[in-house]
Amino acid sequence: MILVTGATGNVGRHVVGGLLGAGRPVRALTRDPGRAGLPAGAEVLRGDLSEPETLPPALEGAEAVFLFAVPGTASAFLDAALKADVGRIVLLSSLAVDDAAEVQPNAIGAYHADIEDAIEASGLEWTFVRPGAFATNSFQWRPQIEAGDVVRLPYPEAVSAPIHEADIAAVAVQALTSEGHAGARHLLTGPESLTNGDQVRVLGEAIGRPLRAEEIPVDVARQAMLRHVPEQIVDTMLHLQAASVGRPALVTDTVEKVTGRPARTYAQWAADHASDFR
């Protein structure tokens, strides 16, 4: 059996689906089974990475774990995983982790690196799946797109290579179920570098309505983001966007190397999710 944490998330749902599709028994962890909406083939269990007493029953009999990174929870999780004799851990980490840095340059890299370091020190077999910007970040534009044809954002020219959540999950499923990924740090991106403005336009094409991006002052955007996201993370996100302007985003071919299929384009993501924006 494979334990999937973060099973109700953008990536975790596809991990659950991919494992079930490959015929592997899945236990899916969620803090609220009543709202999880997970496939009937999965054993759904209530648990919380912040509540260590919920971990032993979740880990019992688990040959492998897909681990969602919740800050401050690694130590208790790893203690429980060692006691349960878990075979391997595949961590959903982040491309923000900088292997060359002694001190991580930003808050997003720092909390993922803390968890990576603890896993490495545990002696358990591991794979770190490190995606860059998710295409699902575009969901933040949904209220504006439902309300009109203009998406107001702070950096229309900021670039990223947005990755489809199904591709991240496909890599994780390979790492959970096949050999050759122990000690790998898989750096994952989508197949093309796009500006925020490009993404808004491509979304419009998928929805069937012309959309355009319009620049707003950074401080206005910051105040809005602070309603949902901690300050350090907001400032990191804005800093990364500002720093990306005018430079093509890193594009890797790791999705294709690991899964045998090219990474899905942002246009594909937009087509898959067009109904979410209508």
Ligand X SMILES: NC(=O)c1ccc[n+]([C@@H]2O[C@H](COP(=O)([O-])OP(=O)(O)OC[C@H]3O[C@@H](n4cnc5c(N)ncnc54)[C@H](OP(=O)(O)O)[C@@H]3O)[C@@H](O)[C@H]2O)c1
N- to C-terminal Cα distance for the chain?
38
Site for ligand X (CB under 6 A): which residue of 2, 3, 4, 12? 12
Site for ligand X (CB under 6 A): which residue of 58, 69, 207, 221? 69
Give least dist CB 96 to ligand X, A. 7
The yes or no reply on residue 31 touching ligand X (CB under 6 A) is: yes
Q: How many residues bind ligand X (CB under 6 A)?
A: 26
Q: Cα(5)–Cα(92) distance, rounded to whole angstroms?
A: 10
The yes or no reply on residue 119 touching ligand X (CB under 6 A) is: no
Site for ligand X (CB under 6 A): which residue of 2, 3, 4, 11? 11
The yes or no reply on residue 46 touching ligand X (CB under 6 A) is: no
Going from the C-alpha of 40 to that of each of 25, 26, 64, the distances in angstroms are: 12, 10, 20
Give the interface segment with ligand X, choosing from 134-142, 149-157, 223-231, 244-252 (CB under 6 A).
134-142
The yes or no reply on residue 138 touching ligand X (CB under 6 A) is: no
Site for ligand X (CB under 6 A): which residue of 133, 153, 158, 270? 133
Give least dist CB 18 to ligand X, A. 13
The yes or no reply on residue 2 touching ligand X (CB under 6 A) is: no
Convert 165-201 to b/e letters by CB count within 10 Å (16 or more is b): bbbbbbbbbbbbbeeebeebbbbbbbbbbbbbbbbbb
Give the interface segment with ligand X, choosing from 65-73, 210-218, 241-249, 253-261 (CB under 6 A).
65-73
- DSSP secondary structure, 100-157, as one string: T-SS-SSHHHHHHHHHHHHHHHHT-EEEEEEE-SBGGGGGGGHHHHHH-SEEEES-TT
Site for ligand X (CB under 6 A): which residue of 2, 3, 4, 5? 5
Q: Cα(69)–Cα(88) distance, rounded to whole angstroms?
A: 15
Q: Cα(55)–Cα(53) distance, rounded to whole angstroms?
A: 6
The yes or no reply on residue 104 touching ligand X (CB under 6 A) is: no
Give least dist CB 59 to ligand X, A. 13
| Assigned token pair, 58 | 């979740």
> Which residues fall within 8 angstroms of residue 89, CB to CB, at 6 or more apart?
64, 65, 67, 81, 119, 124, 125, 126, 127
The yes or no reply on residue 68 touching ligand X (CB under 6 A) is: yes
The answer to whether 28 and 16 have CB atoms below 8 angstroms apart is yes
Give the interface segment with ligand X, choosing from 8-16, 59-67, 202-210, 270-278 (CB under 6 A).
8-16
Binding positions for ligand X, rule: CB under 6 A: 5-12, 29-32, 36, 48-50, 68-70, 92, 94, 131, 133-134, 136-137
